Amino acid sequence: MLKKTLSALAVATLAFSAHAADVLKVAASAVPHAEILNFVKPQLKAQGVDLQIKEFSDYIQPNAAVEDKQLDANFFQHQPYLDSYNKDRKSSIVAVPDGKVHVEPFGAYSRKIKAVSELKEGALIAIPNDPSNAGRALLLLQKQGLIELKDPKNITATPIDIVKNPKKLKFRELEAALLPRALQDVDLALINTNYAIEAKLNPTKDALFIEGADSPYANLVAARADRANDPRIQKLVKALHTPQVKKFIQDKYQGAVVPAF
């Protein structure tokens, strides 16, 4: 009897272990990343993967949680940001193979003006304070002819790299998540689309100017290098690249988020 009981416990333990091995914990920004992940969750469940989504409101913790092995992967960032993070933190997070999912065209917003031509001399511009997104903001301002950078293609440029500033624009660097709240205090803010959407801003209608769909800043799935080829993560990437997901992105975000596959 004891032998049978032990055998039953062993089988139960193996079954639990097999089930636990299929859990996939992914960090994500609430919009649009977690929304897209929730859309594919039923598909992954049918394939034996229990997708558990942990939402974050900043750009630091999702990578830290993956690096510390608290979570298996994340979905919130683009390659330039990941490169900058790894360099600054000496971490080893990588983009998983074929992990690009969508582009969130970066835009400029204002509560004080209706057109770029209305920017006055000495206007205050808010931009993200992380290197990759700060550079992205400055490149977009350069494209509008508002400034000129020492290296016009430097994706990690900072305000000190500005060599021409005809309107004598002033810059305030803030954490990306705080930029929508700063709109009342600045003349213009360059805001990541996920935070713009959360703040009820419509990038295709409210942005004074915005990146095109050809933006190189595709958001991707990332993981530790030793987990990049994990079968569970590969299933996630495959699920994120279906025609159904493409249609979901196009229908739900109406150009504010653009499929990158």
**Is it the case that residue 1 has pLDDT exceeding 90?**
no
Candidate from 2-11, 44-53, 140-149 with smallest mean pLDDT: 2-11
Statement: residue 174 has pLDDT above 50: yes
What is d(CA 36, CA 242) in angstroms, rounded to the nearest whole number? Answer: 12
What number of CA atoms fall less than 13 Å from residue 122's CA on the CB side?
A: 0
* DSSP-derived secondary structure letter, 52: E
- Residue 18 clears pLDDT 90, i.e. is over it: no
What pLDDT, on a 0 to 100 scale, did the predictor assign at position 19? 47
Is residue 25's pLDDT more than 90? yes
The predicted pLDDT at position 6 comes to: 46
CA 14 to chain centre: 37
Whole-angstrom Cα distance, residue 190 to residue 173? 10
Tokens 């959407």 locate to 197
Looking at the predicted structure, is the pLDDT value of residue 21 above 60? no
Mean pLDDT of 69-73: 98
Q: What would the pLDDT profile of 111-135 be if each residue is shown by its tens digit?
A: 999 999 999 999 999 999 998 899 9
> Are 97 and 88 a contacting pair, CB within 8 Å?
no
Q: How much is the pLDDT for 213?
A: 64
Average pLDDT, the chain: 92
Q: What percent of the chain has pLDDT over 70?
A: 91
What are the two backbone dihedrals, phi and then psi, of residue 257, each rounded to the nearest 5 degrees?
Answer: -130, 135
- Per-residue HEC secondary structure of 70-101 comes to CCCEEEEEEHHHHHHHHHHHCCCEEEEEEEEE
Can you tell me which residue has the tokens 């992990």?
99
Closest CA to 123 of 69, 68, 183, 187: 187
Comparing 2-6, 208-212, 225-229, the range with the smallest average pLDDT is: 2-6
* Residue 212: predicted pLDDT: 75
Q: What is the pLDDT of residues 150-160, one digit of tens each?
A: 999 999 999 99
Return the axis-axis angle of helices 79-89 and 131-143, rounded to nearest 10°. Answer: 140
Cis peptide preceding 32, ω within 30 of 0: yes
> What single-letter DSSP state applies at residue 21?
H
pLDDT exceeds 90 at position 94: yes
**pLDDT value of residue 216:** 80
What integer is the mean pLDDT of 98-105? 95
Taking residues 101-120, report their average pLDDT.
96
Which pLDDT score, from 0 to 100, does residue 75 have? 98
pLDDT of residue 16: 44
